[in-house]
Amino acid sequence: MLRFITRRVLVGVVTLIAISIIVFGLFFAVPSSPAKVMCGKNCDAASIAAVETRLGLRDPIAEQYTSFMKGIFVGRTYAEGTAFEQRCDAPCLGFSFRNNEAVTSILGRTVPVTISIVFGAAILWLLIGVSLGMISALRRGTLFDKVAIGISLTGASMQVFFFGLILLYVLVYTSGILPFPSYTPFTDNPAKWAQGLILPWITLGFLNSAIYARLSRAQMLETLSEDYVRTARAKGLPLRRVYTKHALRAAITPIVTIAGLDIGASLGGTFITETIFGLRGLGKETVEAVSFLNLPIVVATVLLAAVFIVVANLIVDVLYAVIDPRVRLS
């Protein structure tokens, strides 16, 4: 088991290094020079050159990459020995082109918002989706099954902005049951934190639960026709135990994979949800940075999203091995 985990971690690290190289290439792939963007419209060649020197853009590419990576792990100093000298402590991801704010502090502000939205919603969609799907599978063909499938089809075919706006209209503007969503750090006031995020949770949670309901229903039905489920019944186990101990554990395995990847991907930003509910999360920050060619932020968010996915993958792999002993072999 330890060897299995070590190997997975190593693969994850290699993946991240590869991604960091590609992401770093973004600096050079964009049509406009970062120095021009930073300097603004009315810049002469001399000041552009000055900016380039300050940012180290004139160094060889390999050297730029090493100082970028060095910045992340030990910190770096921009334009050392000049009037513009600027210290950037580890983990250094550079400074925003727009207001010179450290990228790390921008992330520190926006990432908790996205994490709060995603984890709350994920708990909802897993709870609702998986239990609906499992019950549907066990009561296949009944009214419950048909209604659940109908609801999940509706959910799966709806869009976040549509459903989210309806919820906003009904629960906030018309009835005033809920306040307009806002973000309060959990550490400041947990009740307010939950109250401010409940709408995005419901929106994302309901829509995603649709997919999970369908998936778990299909998985459970498949598992119920497995030979080992028949064996469990042939042993004389009560049906409840056959379902919970023998069928559920096998049916849940693929759901763990998809949930891990979904959560990992969502942590990279839930732009539409954040926009509808006016929450300044990672998704919104990224999209803005892209439209302003604010490269340090773009690079940082893309890298962070990659980290989330790689880590989610790693967790999924480990969970998989915990659930299924056959995985530990390979």
Residues at the site binding other proteins, with contacts judged by CB under 8 A: 226-228, 230-239, 241, 246, 249-250, 323-326, 329
CA–CA gap between residue 281 and residue 302 (Å, rounded): 14
CB of 140 to other proteins, least distance (A): 10
Answer for the pair 129, 210: CB distance below 8 angstroms, yes or no. Answer: yes
**Residue nearer to other proteins on the CB measure, 47 or 253:** 253
DSSP 227: H
Minimum CB separation of residue 324 from other proteins in Å reads: 6
Helices (H), 75-189: 103-138, 143-157, 160-167
In the complex with other proteins, the residue whose CB is nearer, 188 or 227, is 227
Q: CB-wise, 58 or 241, nearer to other proteins?
A: 241
For the CB of residue 233, give the shortest distance to other proteins in the complex, in Å.
6
Q: Quick one: tokens of 257?
A: 């994979």
In the bound state with other proteins, the residue whose beta carbon lies nearer, of 238 and 278, is: 238
Q: Which is nearer to other proteins, 111 or 232 (CB)?
A: 232
Distance CA 121, CA 131 (A): 15
Q: Tell me how far, at minimum, the Cβ of 254 lies from other proteins, in Å.
A: 14
Q: Which residue number, 149 or 237, has a Cβ lying nearer to other proteins?
A: 237
Kindly state the tokens that stand for 300: 């940082």
Query: What is the nearest approach in angstroms of other proteins to the Cβ of residue 125?
Result: 25
DSSP bridge pairs for 78: 86
Q: For residue 87, give the 3-state DSSP assignment.
A: strand
Residue 260 Cβ vs other proteins, minimum distance, rounded to whole Å: 19
Residues 6+ positions from 261 with CB-CB distance below 8 Å: 309, 312, 313, 316
| Between 189 and 231, CB nearer to other proteins | 231
Contacts of 139 (CB under 8 A, 6+ apart): 145
The residues, ordered by sequence, that sit 6+ positions from 322 with a Cβ below 8 Å of its Cβ are none
Q: How near is the Cβ of 323 to other proteins at its closest, in Å?
A: 7
**Cα–Cα separations (whole angstroms), residue 102 to 64, 85, 97, 198:** 18, 14, 10, 31
